[in-house]
Amino acid sequence: MYRVPLWFPGSGVQAQLRAITSPGSRTFCLHDGLILSRGDRNTRMMSSTAEALTATRVAAAEDAARWVAEAARGDEDAILALLTRWRPPLVRVLTGVVGNPTWAEDLAQEAFLVAVSRLTDLRRPEQFYPWVRRIGLRLALRALRSHRAAVPLSAAEGECVAGPEDQVETRLAILAVLRQLSPPLRTALVLREMEGMDYREIAAELQLPVGTVRSRLSAAREQFRALWETRENES
């Protein structure tokens, strides 16, 4: 058995993932207090946490629908509301994908510019965040293909990762390990463990067969664990 603590970079949000593996079972504790216990044949979610999360998502969807309608009419306050609400989670996801907070900020900004200019194309306004996230992911993956490697993380950019010193150190270590995964594996892992998306949702987001998503996640987890153990042994 081994334990991998994982703190994803966030803007004041502690997104902790623990992966504990033992023969025949897997347990994950992931993002924003949501607890999932996954065995070979069942999935258990704490009902109170699930209900609170559902209520939050419903409220967020209602806000999105209202703000998108107002923003499409040129309301600058509504555009600012969309940016304020969904820019931080988008930056967090893109940081996990590209491995660089500054680059993620630029990509998020570009994604929002594209989204705001195309609001009338959005058929389901309540789905604004998944839509802008999809735009951001496509921009990120295209940028990674162009650079062929994640942009190096400078010391100054490392200071952009907020939180207590010990947590920042761990988050930067996680980014360093994530950066060693290939972009396809890194993206699948971030969407699953940071965004809490299921296999079908990831498949739809990345336009891949579900089987491909499963294989990528399996490979990503194994590679991440191996790289993390190596890092821990060397420290």
Burial class (CB in 10 A: 0-12, 13-18, 19+), 39: exposed
Domains annotated on the chain, with CATH: 2-234 (1.20.140.160)
How many Å apart are CA 101 and CA 111, to the nearest integer?
Answer: 15
Residue 122 has pLDDT above 90, yes or no: yes
pLDDT at 60: 80
209 and 203 Cβ atoms separated by less than 8 Å: yes
Query: How many whole angstroms separate alpha carbon 134 and alpha carbon 111?
Result: 9
Residue where the block lists tokens 């069942």: 42
Which neighbouring-strand residues pair with 4? 19
Output 35 or 128, whichever has higher pLDDT: 128
| Residue pair 107/94 in contact by the 8 Å Cβ criterion | yes
59 pLDDT band, cuts 50/70/90, is: confident
Residue 51 — pLDDT band, cuts 50, 70, 90? low
CB atoms within 10 A of CB 43: 9
What pLDDT is attached to residue 55?
Answer: 62
Largest CA distance in the chain: 56
Q: What is the pLDDT of residue 152?
A: 52
Residue 171: pLDDT band (50, 70, 90) is confident
The percentage of the chain sitting over the pLDDT mark of 70, rounded to a whole number, equals 67
Looking at residue 61, its pLDDT comes to 81
Count the Cβ atoms, other than its own, within 10 Å of residue 197.
Answer: 19
Per-residue pLDDT, averaged over 97-106, amounts to 91
Q: Please, is 53 exposed, middle or buried when counting C-beta atoms within 10 Å of its C-beta (0-12, 13-18, 19+)?
A: middle
pLDDT of 159: 45
What does the pLDDT read at residue 87? 95
pTM of the model: 0.70
Q: Which neighbouring-strand residues pair with 16? A: 7
Count how many residues are written for the chain. Answer: 235
Mean pLDDT of 116-142: 94
Residue 37 — pLDDT band, cuts 50, 70, 90? Answer: very low
Residues 6+ apart with CB under 8 A from 44: 36, 37
Average pLDDT, the chain: 76
Question: What is the signed CA dihedral for 171, 51, 79, 187, rounded to 10 degrees?
Answer: 40
The helix-helix angle for 76-98 and 128-147 (nearest 10°) equals 40
